[in-house]
Structure 1
Amino acid sequence: MAQKIHRESLKKAKRIVVKAGSKVLVESSGRPDKQQLKQLVDELAALRNGGGEVAFVSSGAVGAGLDALGMKTRPKAMPDLQMAAAVGQIRLMSVYDELFSQNKCRIGQVLLTHDALKHRERHLNARNTLLNLIEHGIVPIINENDTISTEEIKFGDNDVLAALVAILIDADALVLLSTTDGLRDAGNERVSYIEEVDDEILALVSDKQDKLSTGGMASKLKSAQIAAQNGIPVVIANGRKTGALTRIFEGEDEGTLLFPKEGNISKRKRWIAFFNRVEGHVVVDDGAAEAMIKGKSLLPVGIKAVEGSFKVGAMVDVQSREGEHIARGLVEYSSDEIEILKGQKTAGKAGEVIHHDNMVIL
């Protein structure tokens, strides 16, 4: 019954983020699959022209570039990947412009890096740009800026990017399109509904590396969990199945649905928890863990160990001695300073390693 109610609630979703992976969008050579792209664009445009607000996260630029450059496999060298992205992005966007125009929809290109979203001012600028495009009826087509990204500032794959975009613009729903119709159980049956992504769910996944794409079902599930933790329902579905996207927002049993539990966090704490890269860890005792869960700041006296090298203002994970993730927050001291302060009793705000306003309990 709960699943049916949650499925029905998707009919009311107005602001929607849809992500399509490379294998959904391109042929095996990497060349954009024009017939497949038309099918998908027609459905996206129908949602937009029906009164919805649509943002589209598109992979495929590197694959399209590899085809244009005559490269048969995905290169490992970053300059070659950046070159392929630069060539392929033009190809892909020209196809989108043509197909959306046929549906009387305007598009705008937005290229993002993780580095941009972790800085608060640029984070807000990206949000305002996307919302302004949507407000004016323009469909943002979003991709990672692969032409300038390095390993240190990459999202990892576009599943993560899609989840962060959904959080960034307060989406009502996120759809991650793959080439399978959702998660499969041990008997190879589609899993229609999951409540959370835990080790048991992840154990069902067996991803294989593909020459054109970097994501997989495990990536989609973990990204879905990020969105769900921020109150956004997520459906993982088959992007090559005609009408799949339409059926999802008609409330039908399509793909695998992860529906969020009750509870939400402020926009600032969303930024802290999900848009910053973890640069280190601190291990705390049981007393500190209990105090943090009750809304207290982390003090040096409760810290047992420091792992990693980081500066003031870095994002760190707070873990128990058993390795359980308790919280995530921005530190008031460097790793070297915390190493000196750990275990010591301090008084007042000057002693707080992570202030509760800069902390998210996980």
Structure 2
Amino acid sequence: MKIGSSLLANPDLLTPRWAFIQRLLEDITKLRNDGYEVVLCSSGAVALGLNMLGEKPETAGLRDKQAAAACGMPLLLNAYKQVAHEFGFDIAQVLVTLQDMEERKRFLNTKNTVHRLLQGDILPIVNENDSITTEEIRVGDNDRLAAKVAQMIQADHLVILTCIDGLYDRNPEEEGAQLVEEVSDVSEYIAVTDGTSSLGSGGMLTKMQAANMAQNAGCTTLIANGEHEEPVSSVLYGQRKHTKCIAHTKPASAWAAWLTDRLQVAGSLVIRDDVAKKLSKEIDHIRHEDIKSIQGPYVKGDVIHVYDEHGEEIARGMTNFSSEETMVLARHPEMPPKDLLGYQTGGTVISRENLIILEDRHLLWDSPKEETFVEVSDT
């Protein structure tokens, strides 16, 4: 479950909302007694820390927020620990960065930690390590982070608690706005998801993106207002209104879900249209001679986005070379790769087993700006 900052911190005083935390952990106790394993992805550290620094959310800069996260995290964890102790269970903090979610080895290490905590009947509380992240290397919102955790542990449900009842078919402040109770295709509602809360970094857009990531992994997402006596169980058991984003009946494998649902673009390739058309019919390697242009920098092992010559994203895959090596190979297709790179290798940039062709159920990423690509034919 993911809890937004507006639920955890008083927007005026920037202090913990103890009554809500009490209700939340009492409800988590109920779910644990009902046999559920629970992982909590919690916002709130930055909002609570701003008060100690004498800053306001609307004026705080990046350095202020980094320092506020360092100040606020002990406050947040202390609040959780005190209340959890009342209900007879322990908590643990799992701080992660973008790289922990995007790099395969670190992703699996984090997964092992979370599973070990669950085996010990301890509630893992996951948050991004905002004290050390910058705008360029951060997830930026706990909605998508929670979806990655849901993928990681192969959760059945992702519950996102926020300050409204769920997804509306237009701005909920507009007259006649209707709650969307069930969603199968998230892309239909992306256009109506602008706006964020004053304390949080995510809005309904990131919640829909998170729901899509969860759907692909076979996880149903429930979005609801957190202001309720039983904030989670009442949604999970269908006792109050919310938005339900239905999991796909044929979910992707854990490997495919990790490969396709990215939090940030590492780099991109543009491949020839004839190769793109071939890939749409039969998955194959992407070789150095298939490439028209490259957008980086990226390193070996990064997951990169693959576009056709018209800027349409068609695939994502793990690269066997850095962007510099790829450029050297692509500019000299007539020469043996060993002679170009100085070590024994083929010319396969992305192997077929590490390549996923995107389907309609995936949210596509817009092609990066044209000027950021380097043409293979350039000298």
* Pairing partner for 1:184 from 168, 188, 202: 168
Point out the more displaced range, 340-349 or 118-127. Answer: 340-349
Which residue does the alignment assign to 1:322?
A: 310
Question: Distance between the aligned counterparts of 2:291 and 2:328, measured in 1?
Answer: 11
TM-score normalised by the chain length of structure 2: 0.83
Question: Distance between the aligned counterparts of 1:25 and 1:270, measured in 2?
Answer: 30
What is the CA distance between 1:165 and its match in structure 2? 0.7
Question: Distance between the aligned counterparts of 1:209 and 1:235, measured in 2?
Answer: 19
Which residue does the alignment assign to 2:228?
A: 241
Contact 1:31 1:68 in 2 (8 A): no
Which residue does the alignment assign to 1:335?
A: 323
| CA shift in 2, pair 1:24/1:120, >3 Å | same
| CA shift in 2, pair 1:303/1:263, >3 Å | farther
Pairing 1:120–2:109 present: no
Question: Distance between the aligned counterparts of 1:208 and 1:53, measured in 2?
Answer: 30
* Pairing partner for 1:361 from 342, 357, 363: 357
Pairing 1:111–2:95 present: yes
Question: Distance between the aligned counterparts of 2:323 and 2:117, measured in 1?
Answer: 41
Which residue does the alignment assign to 2:211?
A: 224
What is the CA distance between 1:271 and its match in structure 2? 3.2
Contact 1:178 1:239 in 2 (8 A): yes
* Pairing partner for 2:252 from 265, 268, 282: 265
Which residue does the alignment assign to 1:167?
A: 151
What fraction of aligned residue pairs are identical, expressed as a percent?
Answer: 35
Question: Distance between the aligned counterparts of 2:295 and 2:66, measured in 1?
Answer: 33
Q: Deviations over 1:328-350 (max 9, x none)?
A: 11222333443454495899981
Point out the more displaced range, 349-358 or 283-292. Answer: 283-292
* Pairing partner for 1:311 from 299, 316, 330: 299
Contact 1:64 1:88 in 2 (8 A): yes
Q: Which consecutive residues of structure 1, in runs of 5 or more, have no partner in the other structure?
A: 1-17
What is the CA distance between 1:153 and its match in structure 2? 2.5
Question: Distance between the aligned counterparts of 2:317 and 2:96, measured in 1?
Answer: 23
SS of the residue 1:279 aligns to: coil
What is the CA distance between 1:237 and its match in structure 2? 0.9
Q: Deviations over 1:136-193 (max 9, x none)?
A: 2111111111122222331111111101111111111101111001011133111001
| CA shift in 2, pair 1:307/1:119, >3 Å | closer
Contact 2:318 2:354 in 1 (8 A): yes
| CA shift in 2, pair 1:296/1:139, >3 Å | same
* Pairing partner for 2:68 from 74, 84, 108: 84
Contact 2:270 2:309 in 1 (8 A): yes
What is the CA distance between 1:89 and its match in structure 2? 0.9
Which residue does the alignment assign to 2:271?
A: 284
Point out the more displaced range, 175-184 or 315-324. Answer: 315-324
Question: Distance between the aligned counterparts of 2:105 and 2:324, measured in 1?
Answer: 28
Structure 2 residue identity aligned to 1:24? L
Question: Distance between the aligned counterparts of 1:209 and 1:250, measured in 2?
Answer: 27
Contact 2:103 2:302 in 1 (8 A): no
Q: Deviations over 1:252-272 (max 9, x none)?
A: 463111112233333333333
Question: Distance between the aligned counterparts of 1:64 and 1:291, measured in 2?
Answer: 53
SS of the residue 2:232 aligns to: helix
Question: Distance between the aligned counterparts of 2:334 and 2:168, measured in 1?
Answer: 51
* Pairing partner for 1:56 from 30, 40, 50: 40
Question: Distance between the aligned counterparts of 2:60 and 2:321, measured in 1?
Answer: 37
SS of the residue 1:327 aligns to: strand
User: What pairs with 1:293-304 in structure 2 (closer than 5 Å)?
Assistant: 293=280, 294-304=282-292
SS of the residue 1:332 aligns to: coil
Contact 1:278 1:314 in 2 (8 A): no
Contact 2:14 2:48 in 1 (8 A): yes
Which residue does the alignment assign to 1:194?
A: 183
| CA shift in 2, pair 1:241/1:189, >3 Å | farther
What is the CA distance between 1:246 and its match in structure 2? 1.5
Structure 2 residue identity aligned to 1:159? D
What is the CA distance between 1:105 and its match in structure 2? 2.0
Contact 2:97 2:138 in 1 (8 A): yes
Question: Distance between the aligned counterparts of 2:275 and 2:268, measured in 1?
Answer: 15
CA RMSD of aligned residues (A): 2.4
Question: Distance between the aligned counterparts of 1:223 and 1:69, measured in 2?
Answer: 31
Question: Distance between the aligned counterparts of 1:48 and 1:184, measured in 2?
Answer: 31
Question: Distance between the aligned counterparts of 2:305 and 2:257, measured in 1?
Answer: 15
Question: Distance between the aligned counterparts of 1:93 and 1:317, measured in 2?
Answer: 37
